[in-house]
């Protein structure tokens, strides 16, 4: 393992932050076109990191004009400087969930929902505590409910392979995630039967109106400028998403009555709680799973048959010895746990984090210190921080066993939840309150997969903000469970 140099006692030179922003309007537009079309996301950062010989530099982050009032950021690309973004005593997180712009609150009933609040705002603590207690109260449902949803998912995958020789995993996974999240929060199946089939599309449309400035549709090159004009130059008009959102509101308002009653007991107005619940279900949970599950299936699929055999052996042995799939049995699956962490490390589902300096700060990377002024926007590109070659050996490689045994020490460098994997979400920080649930459902996905199948093959590409995955074949389990 490479030795990290994050020893804060080490004396480092103070350097000024390299890079710049170019002319107003032109600089941000040039950076945006390079980011989306001429260089691409990763190359945009790699090129500048090499040019400035620094993991910390200045650049504009998309979307820029005319959506972001100010697109100037200080980019952080290493494992040492990145965590300054978790320290809410040093950075303000107000209205920064999507970066340098904030979607209209008319998409969330006129409310600034929890994820847009800074912990210094009293409403953040109130809402986050409520979410943490809702999740705690549903804890016993997680495993049985998610396994039911997975069972339906794999039946659908098999049916599609039977009919069409391949299964489009993303849409089947989205249907499953919607079902899981809705049932978890409402304690019932979507009451309006049409919502079961329409639900994912309703959320997708509503998400598009919030996230279009960060997306590309992967159109042919000659359409790039048109796409840039449509998605990245002006916000899509929110009123076009109104009818979809109304249906979601009505469904959650009637089906999640017990959660909303509890919100009122916690001093949160029912209407505000319902809009927050939709955001939690649709943006945080469904939106997160929309990226997470295809990514997990892609990386494990690509890793090949040897890893598949090892996972199947571990999972089947533990389930047999422990008499079932329980929290305790999952805890004993060290390879399965490691594989999930490795997928979250190599491709964190939420790759961007932002924070505005609350005061003048000094931030360090492996080889220097840099001054950041109060009010400057700090931006961390997480896939580089969690592939920092000073921390992770062969960082670009998917190493299933990376976090087994002694490798567990590296978990503190896994940042997917907007916090250290070794720490926990609280009402005072901005770490994902569903951190443990997300890890749990990812493990369950692998458990269910390798209880049923020995191996599988995938093809993949890019879509929206994540990977598109097609399952080409599934080989049924040959050993008895």
Contact flag: residue 195 with ligand HEM (CB under 6 A): no
Q: Near ligand HEM by CB under 6 A, which window of 309-317, 372-380, 389-397, 432-440?
A: 432-440
**Checking DSSP bridges between strand 352-357 and strand 72-76, what pairing results, if any?**
unpaired
Q: Which of 259, 297, 300 minimizes the C-alpha distance to 277? A: 259
Contact flag: residue 386 with ligand HEM (CB under 6 A): no
CB of 293 to ligand HEM, least distance (A): 8
Among 101, 111, 131, 142, contact with ligand HEM (rule: CB under 6 A): 131
* CB-based closest residue to ligand HEM: 288
CB of 406 to ligand HEM, least distance (A): 26
Contacts of 409 (CB under 8 A, 6+ apart): none
**Checking DSSP bridges between strand 91-92 and strand 352-357, what pairing results, if any?**
antiparallel
The C-alpha atoms of residue 295 and residue 411 are separated, in whole angstroms, by 19
Number of residues that bind ligand HEM (CB under 6 A): 24
Cβ(398)–Cβ(302) below 8 Å:
yes
Contact flag: residue 418 with ligand HEM (CB under 6 A): yes
Contact flag: residue 430 with ligand HEM (CB under 6 A): yes
Site for ligand HEM in 290-349 (CB under 6 A): 292, 349
Q: Near ligand HEM by CB under 6 A, which window of 151-159, 218-226, 315-323, 415-423?
A: 415-423
Q: Near ligand HEM by CB under 6 A, which window of 2-10, 46-54, 393-401, 416-424?
A: 416-424
Q: Which residue pairs from 214-222 have beta carbons closer than 8 angstroms and sit at least 24 positions apart in sequence?
A: 214/62, 214/63, 214/98, 214/99, 214/352, 214/465, 215/464, 215/465, 216/36, 216/37, 217/464, 218/461, 218/462, 218/463, 221/37
The C-alpha atoms of residue 465 and residue 97 are separated, in whole angstroms, by 15
Among 74, 77, 377, 432, contact with ligand HEM (rule: CB under 6 A): 432
With vertex at residue 438, the alpha carbon angle to CA 459 and CA 357, rounded to the nearest 5 degrees, is: 105
Contact flag: residue 102 with ligand HEM (CB under 6 A): no
The C-alpha atoms of residue 290 and residue 199 are separated, in whole angstroms, by 13
The C-alpha atoms of residue 91 and residue 120 are separated, in whole angstroms, by 11
Q: Which of 74, 91, 73, 72 minimizes the C-alpha distance to 83? A: 91
Cα dihedral angle (166, 169, 175, 181), rounded to 10 degrees?
Answer: 150
Using DSSP, state whether 159 is helix, strand or coil. helix
CB of 186 to ligand HEM, least distance (A): 12
- Nearer Cβ to ligand HEM, position 53 or 89? 89
Cβ(425)–Cβ(431) below 8 Å:
yes
Q: Near ligand HEM by CB under 6 A, which window of 21-29, 202-210, 232-240, 283-291?
A: 283-291
Among 176, 207, 214, 289, contact with ligand HEM (rule: CB under 6 A): 289
Cα dihedral angle (164, 169, 170, 174), rounded to 10 degrees?
Answer: 100
Q: Near ligand HEM by CB under 6 A, which window of 53-61, 194-202, 280-288, 370-378?
A: 280-288
CB of 291 to ligand HEM, least distance (A): 7
The C-alpha atoms of residue 178 and residue 186 are separated, in whole angstroms, by 12
Contact track, ligand HEM, 111-130, x by CB under 6 A: ---xx------------x--
CB of 136 to ligand HEM, least distance (A): 12
Among 280, 319, 333, 474, contact with ligand HEM (rule: CB under 6 A): 280
- Nearer Cβ to ligand HEM, position 311 or 438? 438
CB of 460 to ligand HEM, least distance (A): 18
Q: Which residues bind ligand HEM (CB under 6 A)?
A: 93, 97, 114-115, 128, 131, 280, 284-285, 288-289, 292, 349-350, 353, 416-418, 430, 432-434, 437-438
């Amino acid at each position: 393992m490479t030795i990290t140099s994050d020893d804060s006692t080490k004396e480092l030179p103070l350097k000024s932050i390299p890079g710049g922003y170019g002319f107003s309007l032109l600089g941000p537009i040039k950076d945006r076109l390079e980011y989306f079309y001429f260089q691409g996301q990763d190359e945009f950062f790699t090129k500048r990191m090499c040019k400035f010989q620094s993991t910390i530099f200045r650049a504009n982050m998309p979307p820029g004009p005319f959506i972001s009032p100010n697109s100037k950021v200080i980019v952080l690309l290493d494992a040492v400087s990145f965590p300054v973004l978790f320290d809410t005593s040093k950075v303000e997180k107000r209205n920064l969930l999507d970066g340098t712009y904030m979607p209209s609150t008319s998409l969330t009933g006129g409310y600034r929902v929890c994820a847009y609040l800074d912990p210094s705002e009293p409403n953040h603590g109130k809402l986050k505590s409520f979410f943490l207690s809702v999740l705690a109260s549903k804890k016993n449902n997680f495993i049985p409910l998610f396994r039911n949803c997975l069972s339906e998912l794999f039946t659908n995958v098999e049916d599609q392979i039977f009919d069409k020789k391949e299964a489009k995993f993303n849409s089947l996974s989205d249907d499953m995630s919607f079902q899981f999240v809705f049932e978890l929060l409402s304690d019932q199946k979507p009451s309006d039967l049409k919502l079961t089939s329409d639900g994912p599309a309703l959320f997708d449309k509503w998400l598009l109106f919030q996230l279009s400035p960060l997306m590309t549709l992967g159109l042919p090159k000659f359409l790039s400028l048109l796409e840039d004009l449509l998605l990245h130059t002006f916000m899509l008009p929110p009123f076009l998403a109104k009818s979809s959102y109304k249906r979601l509101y009505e469904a959650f308002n009637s089906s999640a009555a017990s959660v909303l009653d509890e919100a009122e007991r916690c001093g949160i107005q029912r209407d505000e709680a319902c809009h927050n619940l939709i955001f939690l279900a649709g943006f945080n949970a469904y939106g997160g799973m929309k990226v997470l599950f295809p990514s997990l299936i892609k990386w494990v699929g690509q890793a090949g048959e040897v890893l598949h055999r090892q996972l199947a052996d571990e999972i089947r042995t533990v389930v047999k010895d422990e008499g079932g799939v329980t929290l305790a049995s999952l805890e004993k699956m060290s390879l399965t746990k490691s594989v999930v962490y490795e997928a979250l490390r190599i491709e964190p589902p939420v790759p961007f984090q932002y924070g505005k300096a609350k005061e003048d700060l000094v931030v360090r990377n492996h080889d220097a210190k840099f001054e950041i002024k109060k009010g400057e926007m700090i931006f961390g590109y997480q896939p580089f921080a969690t592939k920092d070659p000073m921390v992770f050996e062969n960082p670009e490689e998917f190493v299933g066993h990376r976090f087994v045994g002694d490798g567990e020490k590296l978990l503190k460098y896994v940042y997917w939840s907007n916090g250290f994997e070794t720490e926990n979400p609280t009402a005072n920080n901005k770490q994902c309150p569903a951190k443990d649930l997300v890890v749990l459902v990812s493990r369950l996905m692998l458990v269910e997969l390798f209880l049923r199948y020995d191996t599988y093959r995938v093809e993949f590409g890019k879509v929206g903000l994540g990977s598109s995955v097609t399952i080409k074949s599934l080989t049924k389990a040959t050993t008895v469970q």
